[in-house]
Structure formats: structure tokens, C-alpha cells
Amino acid sequence: MIRTERLILRQWDDEDLLLFSQMCSDKDVMEFFPKLLTAEESFSGARRIQSLIADRGWGFWAVELPGQSKFIGFVGLHTPKENMPFSPCVEVGWRLAKPYWGMGYATEAAKASLHYAFTHLGLEEVVSFTTAQNIRSQAVMKKIGMPYACNFKHPDLEPSHPLCEHVLYKINREQWEQHSL
């Protein structure tokens, strides 16, 4: 478990599954993903995330707003598929329910995730990526000190797909230390 000034990043529990499913069927939350997820797809994804955290102690943690909401989304660290052009790597990522956008929660939790990546896991670099159109997520990447690295075509999407063009941001330990001062 990781505590920040306003949030708790923790292992998922069964109570999170329905809220996650509702979030993944929200057209605004999923605007930059190829499709909305069914309840079963959401449950399966959450169980996979839960299992990865149980196995290695870290991952896309469930985010809780103490005293207000038990589950507002997820933020944390993940190992992307090997077919990504910059793999092997560890990414920092997030997905929050729409009522919690614009309050700095993704930035706060992502900063805590980077701290964990560099101080607990001893990583030398962390990446983050999103579609070229996702300006909100790119703003979070910039706020947590990640410089733009390059554009790339997502290997799981057809080149003609409107979301195929992605941007990659990276931060190394030295850059993180400078940004954290």
C-alpha cells in the first residue's frame, strides 16, 4: 500500500470490480481505447491486475480516496506487451472514473508510482504512452517530469485505425531525481 497526501494506492478487492466495470463502459473514460469493455472483460482485466500485484508486489494499484470513495480508478506500474517497440520496460499508467478528473489525482498517484519505481524497484527508466490525441494524459506525463521521446504506431492496432498513432514519454532516474527536488 502506498499513501499520498490525499490517496491510497492498494491491492484490488472484489468490491472494486463493479466500479471498474462501470468505468470501463463509460464512453468518456474509454475515449482513447479501441472499444468499451464488457463487464466480463473488465472483471477479467481486474483479476489479472490483482494477480500481478499479488505475484510481484506492484502493478496498476486500485486508487482510493479515503473517507470519500473506496475506488476511483487505478494508477501504477505495469510491464507492457513484448511487441511494443520500446520493450522490455516498465510503464506508469492511469485510468480514473470521470468524476475524479481534473483534481490532480492522476498526477499525485503517478508521482508516488514513480517514487516506488525508482526507490523500491531500483529501475533506471520508466515509460508512459497514449494515443497522440489524448492531450489530458500527455499533460499528466509532463507534470510528473516525463519528457516526450517519440511517436510510434501501436502494434496491436491496424495502421489505418484512428488511435494507432501513439506518443511515448520516458523518464530516467536522474531526470526523476532532478524533477523531485
* Per-residue pLDDT at 130: 98
pLDDT on residue 56 = 95
Secondary structure string (H, E, C) spanning the chain = CEECCCCEEECCCCCHHHHHHHHHCCCCCCCCCCCCCCHHHHHHHHHHHHHHHHHHCCCEEEEEECCCEEEEEEEEEECCCCCCCCCCCCEEEEEECHHHCCCCHHHHHHHHHHHHHHHCCCCCEEEEEEECCCHHHHHHHHHCCCCEEEEEECCCCCCCCCCCEEEEEEEEHHHHHHHHC
User: Quick one: pLDDT at residue 64?
Assistant: 97
Per-residue pLDDT, 68: 87
Strand partners, 180: none
* Residue 111: per-residue pLDDT: 97
Query: Which residues of the chain register pLDDT less than 70?
Result: none
Tell me the pTM.
0.95
| CA 160 vs CA 86, 105, 153, 156, 164: distances in Å | 21, 33, 10, 12, 7
Q: Alpha-carbon dihedral of residues 56, 63, 141, 95, nearest 10 degrees?
A: 100
Instruction: Identify the pLDDT of residue 69.
Output: 82
The pLDDT score that the predictor gives to residue 108 is 98
